[in-house]
Copies of this chain bind each other. A is one copy, B any other.
Amino acid sequence: MTHLISHSRRLRSTPFTAGVEAKGVKGYTVYNHMLLPTVFENVVEDYHHLKQHVQVWDVACERQVELNGPDASALMQLLTPRDLSKMKEDQCYYVPVTDNDGKMLNDPVAIKHSDTRWWVSLADSDLLLWIKGYALGKGLDVQVFEPDVSPLAVQGPKSDDLMARVFGEEVRDIRFFRYKRLAFGETSFIIARSGYSKQGGFEIYVEGTENGMPLWDALFEAGEDLNVRPGCPNLIERIEGGMLSYGNDATMANTPLECGLGKFCKPAEGNAHIGHAAMARELAEGPARQVRAIAIGGEPVAPARAPWPLMRDGQQVGQVTSAAWSPDFEVTVSIGMVDAGHWDDGTELTVVTPEGERSALVKEKFWV
């Protein structure tokens, strides 16, 4: 069943929307009140191209929240269970953010500019309101706002080659989840080796809306012979790679431990995190459910619009939240949340899809 998206100012355009539409984007989703492209050729063609060449992605919807002021670093550590004390100057940190019950509110990437200035690059929730509201209630000395920064991603195996042509050879030296500030024309951007695919690449934090289209055009001009194309996070590829999507595979009903993020939840010195007590209890008892790769048998099924129940002996023991047919692995790859006692590698379950029941094999590892 297909439906049109009704455009309005409320579904914000990005600095790159003119470029995206000139290149014939066919579908959108909405992410942080902003347009996120979903399809150019079609999901399968986009997938093959991403794995072979290089794509430019408008991920401006990864909105930034800036924390600026004397209490910025203390506030950051209150927000997340991850210990920030050893973070290097050029490092990006994936930081699950929870409430006082240890429930996930977002899973952003944080960049530390200085002890008094941070950016967090958001998944799909208005985390600005949480951070600003909490800081106000607590009486912290910090400004919290959305700066004019729009990430543009370059993803795919030829990413280093394309980026080197636009930003110089030193872009190749950026390590995974590290960043450098590199020049572009009269300005410069923070460039991190990161992104929402397993094909390698970068995220460019484009400061200043007016710099968006010049960068977009420069990347396409420089990459013609690399077969550069517009792209977007690809449903199939991200499921194969086990990249969780907040709002799809995890919600405010889940904890970081349930999402398999235990390595980011080792309590920091002083246990500052808002959700420390709740998380300590969960660490002691173990999580009630956990994310798993699920291989679904039989005929392909249209992508999930709502959770599909996972059943064992007539009892629900979990749910599948993202699923897509994988041309490379010739199986329906999926991400599910499985209850304790049923999540061992090789467990055979049944999944109830809108198109009928299918076999569902629990796998410890994703497809990469």
Contact = CB atoms under 8 A, between A and B. Distances in A.
Contacts of A306: 9, 13
Interface string A263-279: 00000000000100000
A103 to B, nearest CB: 10
A23 interface: no
Interface string A1-16: 1111111111101000
B5 A5 contact: yes
Contacts of A185: none
What is the interface of chain A mostly: helix, strand, loop, or mixed?
loop
B136 A125 contact: no
Contacts of A30: 11, 29-30
Interface residues of A, number: 53
Nearest to A145: B252
Given A130-B133, A131-B133, A133-B137, A29 B9 contact: no
A89 interface: no
A241 interface: no
A9 B132 contact: no
Contacts of A4: 2-5, 26-28, 39
Contacts of A274: 136
A248 B321 contact: no
A280 interface: no
A304 B99 contact: no
Interface of A: 1-11, 13, 21, 25-30, 33, 38-39, 99-100, 105, 124-127, 129-140, 245-248, 274, 303-307, 321-322
